[in-house]
A = this chain, B = another copy of it.
Amino acid sequence: MSVHLQTAPPLEVAQWLNVTEPPSLDRLRGKVVMIEAFQMLCPGCVSHGLPQAAQVWKTFSGDDVQVLGLHSVFEHHDAQPPRALEAFLYEYRIGFPVAVDAPGDGALPKTMAAYGMQGTPTLVLIDRLGRKRSQHFGRVPDLVLGAEIMALIAEAQDTTPMAEAAETRPSSECGDAGCSVSGTKTAGTV
């Protein structure tokens, strides 16, 4: 099965916030990485995506799990510039590293396009070997997310993924709460 697992695309970043040294997926090998893609004007991101990411950041050891925010703006570009994001992170007390997704040729920023994200919030889990293991658009229950992260922590650093026991399902709430890229109708799980 492991033949299907691909290395996660590199993050294409215009600017990092909350960091002294810019992180990279390559240098994070050995840890589980959780990417929370969001927009500061996306209600579902503000009400549950970002609080959940902050909770993961507090709950798990930094030796095992690295949480990264990814500001992937695909609408209202001029209403969400990096200096507004900075104030937003300050007011919402978000302390983990946040990358500003690099602008693309069209409306979609580059990392968002490379990952095939349908909208925000999108949560991506990358295993200790740097491979993308799951991607959720919309709301993920804490119980399911805790189980998914631990399944990746539990894996030895080899190529054999453990079967996932938690049945991860897309939430029907996120169609309402999340912001989908035009043309994408429903929230879902890769």
| B-binding residues in A (CB < 8 A) | 41-43, 46-47, 52, 55-56, 59-61, 64-65, 75-76, 78-80, 83-84, 86-88, 90-92, 141-151, 153-155, 162, 165-167, 179
Q: A46-B46, A55-B143, A91-B41 are in contact. Are A150 and B166 (CB under 8 A)?
A: yes
Q: Which of B41, B86, B154 contacts A162 (CB 8 A)?
A: B154
Number of this chain's copies in the complex: 4
Lowest 10 CB-CB distances: which A-B pairs, in order? A146-B146, A142-B142, A154-B154, A150-B150, A76-B87, A79-B87, A79-B84, A147-B150, A146-B147, A143-B146
Q: Which residues of B contact A146 (CB under 8 A)?
A: 142-148, 150, 166
Pick from A47, A75, A84 the residue with the most CB of B within 10 Å. Answer: A84
Q: Given A60-B165, A61-B165, A146-B150, output 11 extra A-B contacts at Cβ < 8 Å.
A: A41-B87, A55-B143, A56-B143, A59-B144, A60-B147, A78-B83, A79-B83, A80-B87, A143-B143, A146-B166, A154-B162
